[in-house]
Homo-oligomer: A and B are copies of this chain.
């Protein structure tokens, strides 16, 4: 298992600053997450029910409201998506469903993908964004995070569909982790699912800001979803999480407002960083990525002032999440201003 969590706690000890005093920009989670209502007591008490409305809400969210993409009215599939306890559950289980293969994974990227495929005996090859689009003739599986984390690289649908067609023709898979795509869902491949050999991962952790709920979805053909469901077993998602996720997926007013607000906040963050001599090399609606040789020094300087960012070693880079309110914006601006260059 990779090292996870406790990053804030660790920083609190290392820098001698109490946890409550930190501005934590180390995640890509929407700081204005969906406002969770009180969950009725009976939801906590009963076993989670498969037919509680979560799947229907997810079908509507992922398939029926994708802008500018017309649905094929005849494309009715009995099972087009599977709810999972966070996309992590799918990330670690998908590699078990194939015999050891050549797996191309975009690098740098979210490390759990490579870890999970390696653990199951697959041969993992890290590739640049340009390289992986050519991997359709050599690899059996390609794994792409879109937009990529932490680089922010956005793959266009045509590129991905070409890659998918090459892989699928050879019985391969294209796995697209769309954890950060909700605010720019016109780039999502959700609308073309299910399609043989295409596996799209979605999550309510980032855009909806519900990382604690552990709810994600796998969009794929039934011949992938069925063994995945069997492997994950019944009741893997908590009933309160299902209840909250269902309401969040149905709250189109909140979604529309958030789809407008996040890109503005992201642009503001990019502008602020640029003004302070740290122009982002990439970003998404939920984070900006600054790639520079002094990354470690920038990270440390901010940490000394109680601002936690995410430092990456290869390449040296810092990822910034979105501040929540004006006080946080001001605090970040002031701390950035003090970086010696």
Residues of chain A whose beta carbon lies under 8 Å from any beta carbon of chain B = 1-2, 4-6, 9, 27, 29, 33, 35-36, 38-39, 41, 43-51, 85-86, 88-89, 92, 205, 209-214, 229-230, 233-241, 244
Contacts and interface: CB of A to CB of B under 8 A. Distances in A.
Given A47-B212, A214-B238, A238-B238, 13 more contacts: A1-B230, A4-B47, A5-B47, A5-B50, A27-B46, A29-B45, A33-B44, A44-B209, A45-B209, A48-B212, A86-B235, A89-B236, A213-B238
- Pick the most buried of A4, A213, A233: most chain B CB atoms within 10 A of its CB: A233
Contact of A48 (B45, B47, B214): B214
Shortest Cβ-Cβ A-B pairs, 6 listed = A212-B239, A238-B238, A33-B45, A92-B233, A214-B238, A238-B241
19 contacts: A5-B49, A5-B50, A5-B234, A9-B51, A33-B41, A33-B44, A33-B45, A39-B39, A39-B240, A44-B210, A44-B244, A45-B209, A45-B211, A47-B211, A85-B235, A89-B236, A212-B239, A214-B239, A241-B241
A251 to B, nearest CB: 14
Contact of A212 (B27, B51, B240): B240
A44 B213 contact: yes
Contact of A45 (B46, B89, B210): B210
A47 B237 CA distance: 15
A212 B40 CA distance: 11
A212 B46 contact: yes
